A and B are shown apart, each in its own frame.
Chain A
Amino acid sequence: MTAVIRNTWVLTALCLATVASGAVHANAYREKDKISKIANSSMTVTPPRDWNRLTIKPGKYAEVWTLDGEQLNDVTFYGGVEPGTPLLRERNKKRDPLPKFTTTTLLVEVPELLEGTYRAHKKIGSFTLTNTQPGQFLGRDGVHFTYDYTDQDDLPRKGEARAVLIDKKLYMVTFDAPRLHYFNRTLSDFRTLADAAKIAK
């Protein structure tokens, strides 16, 4: 059997296997009171209620949790973003570069890093930081901030986030939801989830 035939059949078998198993689309269960590691980092969370973790990862250090779908409630954890890297995966490094987290990024600059990332990644013009204040995350002194923006689907959304810098890495959790109905409905679930996040010492 030539290499071409062998490779082609391997491709076909993989294609059939992945579709048949549904593994490509299977989202993960994050069960109440069971500890879960975030994006292969030292951050963990023990959720106070059941959540879903989407299979699709928006970035190397990020993972998305949701109750009804990311369109309606999106909790994104960023587990130890290394200096020199963006928060989310760049679609095209040359044409659509994203701002990078660097060794010189200050905690107070993290909200602007998220703003720049959203503007470039979502290709949106409207984003407003509504509040920034000191606050705890992962048991350390960090920053809490809130924001508003209108996404590509023309739906105004509200967001709330917590971030902290530990050992020159960025740890953050964001919550985004439509300002109509869904933001207020899920906000307390997000806060208790963010409170439950920890980092290994």
Chain B
Amino acid sequence: MSGITRWIALWLCAIVLITNSGIAQERTAVKQGFELSANSGKKILLIRPKVSVGEQSTGGLFEPNADWTDKARKNLDAALFKKQGALGNTVLVSPEAYGDQALVSEEYTNLFGAVASAVVNYQFFVGNRLPTKKRDNKAGVFDWSLGEGVRNIPGAQGADYALFIYNKDAYGSTGRKLLQIAAALGPGLAVKSGEHLGYAGLVDLKTGELLWLNADAAMGGDVREIDGAEKRVGQLLEEFPGSVEAVEKAKQP
């Protein structure tokens, strides 16, 4: 009897924890007043995506894997190239940059990752919001920025918006998976194995304001495989403003 009761209690805990973790998952936000229609004549600069793939150690640390990252980068680049035509507006691929110019672009991509992470943690995750932003949140204000320095990104002069993509995949190691099973069967703790973060964001290249963000802390698709990378890109650019998909969705009653 005590065994059954214990199992019921642990399952209840697990269900609650899983349900609660879902709060921080996929969300999309648009800056108030921002609209981008298809074929608007606006130009979107596609910034080289940040891709890091590795393993999550038993202790939960991220251990990068150069081979996986290289494969994922190629797969994601190809998937993005295929998807460009469906985005509804002209997409310019960021020019090949060298030295300091390349570093500027990379640093802004990392800043985008930090801003997106703050949005996910402190705006999308309702229970964790910052008290000073409560009024904004009640009014549905989405006000985040990368700063006006985005104008210095190579290729920014010929475009209106920049599309940033940030991907981090940590596949659970064998040790981590065993820990997950042992923790669930033993003390009934919910240990997460693997992390699949993905952020896509559209930024105004004149003001640096974040206009649209799609963020998911549990993305699907194995980016090390061609099909998986296509699925990932599809998820990242779901409902991208002005895209074929967004236009079709808007037409639905």
A interface residues, Cβ below 8 angstroms from B: 2, 4-5, 8-9, 11-12, 15-16, 19, 22, 24-29, 50-52, 66-69, 71-72, 153-156, 178, 180-182, 185
Contacts and interface: CB of A to CB of B under 8 A. Distances in A.
B94 interface: no
B9 interface: yes
Contacts of A28: 131
Interface string B121-134: 11001111111100
A180 B147 contact: yes
B181 to A, nearest CB: 20
- Most chain B CB within a 10 A radius of its CB, from A26, A28, A153, A185: A153
Contact of A52 (B106, B130, B149): B130
Contact of A181 (B118, B126, B147): B147
21 contacts: A9-B5, A12-B10, A15-B12, A15-B17, A16-B12, A27-B128, A27-B129, A27-B131, A50-B131, A52-B132, A67-B130, A68-B118, A68-B122, A69-B121, A154-B106, A155-B113, A178-B111, A178-B114, A180-B149, A181-B147, A181-B208
Interface in B83-135: 106-108, 110-111, 113-115, 117-118, 121-122, 125-132
B126 to A, nearest CB: 8
A165 to B, nearest CB: 32
B interface bracket (residues with beta carbon within 8 Å of A): 35 or more
A180 B131 contact: no
A16 B9 contact: no
B20 interface: yes
Given A15-B12, A52-B130, A185-B147, 14 more contacts: A8-B5, A9-B9, A12-B10, A12-B12, A16-B12, A27-B131, A68-B130, A71-B117, A72-B115, A153-B114, A154-B106, A155-B110, A181-B208, A182-B147
Contacts of B132: 29, 50-52, 67
A15 B107 CA distance: 40
Given A2-B2, A154-B110, A181-B147, A8 B9 contact: yes
SS class, residues of chain B in contact with chain A: helix
Contacts of B121: 69
Contact of B127 (A25, A69, A156): A25
Contacts of B188: 11
B142 to A, nearest CB: 13
A174 B157 CA distance: 37
B191 interface: no
Contact of A153 (B113, B127, B131, B146): B113
A201 B31 CA distance: 49
B6 interface: yes
B13 interface: yes
A194 B125 CA distance: 30
A57 to B, nearest CB: 15
A100 B205 CA distance: 46
Contacts of A27: 128-131
B131 to A, nearest CB: 4
A19 B111 contact: no
Contacts of A9: 5, 9
A66 B121 CA distance: 13
A69 B17 contact: no
A66 B128 CA distance: 13
